[in-house]
């Protein structure tokens, strides 16, 4: 009897050890930083570039994820494209935006700087680049239920592992010509969940994906607000100059001409009354 108890104790220790090995307590961190991309190997802050930023609406906008730092896990290209499509949708419907193009990750290289940004902008024929950066941290913990993993079956049915995913997504829009940051909008999310020992990897991956989804959903309304604010700012801020592209013309009336037309109606009516 004593031998069975000892064997059981040893087995539980063994499985506990397995659970500890399988469970990544360090968590997962993945990020892509705008600063790392645009200012590689820079030990000093980027110098201020006072001057006039000239915009030629309707502008052509490119959207891209900043390249991921080496050694960190990243979203798949498919996931990136889906998220960028949602960001792209938020840029549509503005008269001062002509076209929006998604720039695939392959066209931006890690720590490429503004030189690489200009290359991609020329390639895709865009005036502005919206760079989407992100920072995601996943914390992993085990709950008391993980004790039941010793039963082997428990590793399949008991959700003893927990994850907590914090995501921050940031969309920064740059004028490619002047290198000027025009505006930015952040989005954040926190996703919590639990999983069995066996299914933890997949569940955590889904959690990280959901973290991105929710962060982008949080980003979009802020991006709309920033777009509207920026539109008003360029009209009043002396650092911005708007030069319409010569290509689009319109015969346009204002309320003043509407009053003139009403004046003409009044004049002709009086004529008839005489």
Partner 1 sequence: MRLTATVALLCAVLWAVPGASAALALLRTEILSAPWQLLTAHFVHYSTVHALIDSAVLVLCTALAERAFGCGPTTVLILLGGVLLSLGALWLLPFMQEYRGASALATLLGVTVALRTAQQAPSRRPCIALLGLLLLATLLRDAWPQAHRPSSLPDGVFVAWPVHALAIALGMAATRFLPTRKIDITR
Q: Write the CA distances from 58 to 97, 98, 270, integer angstroms.
A: 5, 5, 45
**CA gap 118, 107 in Å, rounded:** 11
**By CB under 8 A, residue 264 contacts partner 1:** yes
**CA gap 12, 46 in Å, rounded:** 56
* Complex with partner 1: residue 43 or 274, whichever CB lies closer: 274
* Complex with partner 1: residue 217 or 260, whichever CB lies closer: 260
**By CB under 8 A, residue 258 contacts partner 1:** yes
Strands 180-195 and 59-65: unpaired
Write the burial class of residue 107 (CB in 10 Å: 0-12 exposed, 13-18 middle, 19+ buried): middle
**Residue 84 C-beta: closest distance to partner 1, Å:** 24
**By CB under 8 A, residue 238 contacts partner 1:** no
Preceding peptide of 58 cis, ω within 30°: yes
Map the footprint of partner 1 across residues 92-151, applying CB under 8 A. Answer: 95-96, 98
Q: How many residues bind partner 1 (CB under 8 A)?
A: 37
205 secondary structure, DSSP code: H
**Residue 95 C-beta: closest distance to partner 1, Å:** 3
**By CB under 8 A, residue 254 contacts partner 1:** yes
C-alpha neighbours within 13 Å on the C-beta side of residue 205: 9
**CA gap 245, 176 in Å, rounded:** 17
Q: Using CB under 8 A as the criterion, what x/- string covers residues 192-231 for binding partner 1?
A: ---------------------------------------x
24 secondary structure, DSSP code: -
**CA gap 148, 274 in Å, rounded:** 101
* Complex with partner 1: residue 59 or 131, whichever CB lies closer: 59
Burial track 25-34 (b if 16+ CB lie within 10 A, e otherwise):
eeebebbbbb
* Complex with partner 1: residue 48 or 267, whichever CB lies closer: 267
Residue 41 CB contacts under 8 Å (≥ 6 apart), including other chains? 111
* Complex with partner 1: residue 56 or 159, whichever CB lies closer: 56
Q: Which of 27, 53, 56, 206 binds partner 1 (CB under 8 A)?
A: 56
**By CB under 8 A, residue 57 contacts partner 1:** yes
Q: Which of 21, 48, 70, 267 binds partner 1 (CB under 8 A)?
A: 267
* Complex with partner 1: residue 5 or 95, whichever CB lies closer: 95
Q: Which of 51, 71, 238, 256 binds partner 1 (CB under 8 A)?
A: 256
Binding site for partner 1 (CB under 8 A): 56-59, 95-96, 98, 231, 242, 244-258, 260-265, 267-268, 270-274
């Amino acid at each position: 009897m004593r031998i069975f108890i000892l064997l059981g104790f040893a087995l539980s220790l063994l499985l506990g050890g397995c659970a500890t090995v399988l469970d990544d307590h360090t968590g997962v961190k993945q990020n892509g930083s705008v600063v790392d991309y645009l200012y590689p190997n820079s030990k000093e802050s980027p110098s201020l570039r006072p001057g006039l930023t000239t915009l030629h609406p309707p502008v052509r906008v490119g959207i891209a994820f900043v390249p991921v730092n080496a050694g960190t896990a990243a979203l798949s290209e498919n996931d990136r494209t889906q998220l960028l499509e949602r960001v792209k949708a938020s840029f549509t419907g503005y008269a001062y935006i002509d076209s929006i193009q998604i720039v695939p990750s392959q066209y931006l290289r890690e720590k490429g700087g503004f030189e690489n940004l200009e290359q991609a902008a020329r390639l895709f024929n865009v005036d502005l680049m919206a760079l989407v950066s992100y920072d995601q941290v996943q914390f992993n913990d085990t709950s008391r239920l993980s004790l039941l993993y010793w039963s082997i079956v428990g590793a399949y049915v008991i959700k003893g592992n927990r994850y907590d995913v914090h995501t921050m997504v940031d969309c920064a829009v740059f004028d490619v010509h002047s290198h000027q940051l025009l505006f930015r909008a952040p989005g954040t999310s926190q996703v919590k969940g639990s999983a069995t020992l066996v299914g933890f990897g997949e569940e955590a991956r889904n959690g990280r994906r959901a973290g991105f989804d929710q962060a982008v959903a949080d980003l979009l309304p802020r991006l709309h607000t920033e777009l509207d604010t920026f539109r008003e700012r360029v009209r009043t801020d002396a650092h911005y100059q708007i030069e319409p592209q010569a290509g689009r013309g319109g015969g346009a009336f204002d309320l003043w001409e509407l009053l003139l037309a009403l004046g003409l109606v009044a004049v002709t009516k009086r004529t008839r009354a005489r």
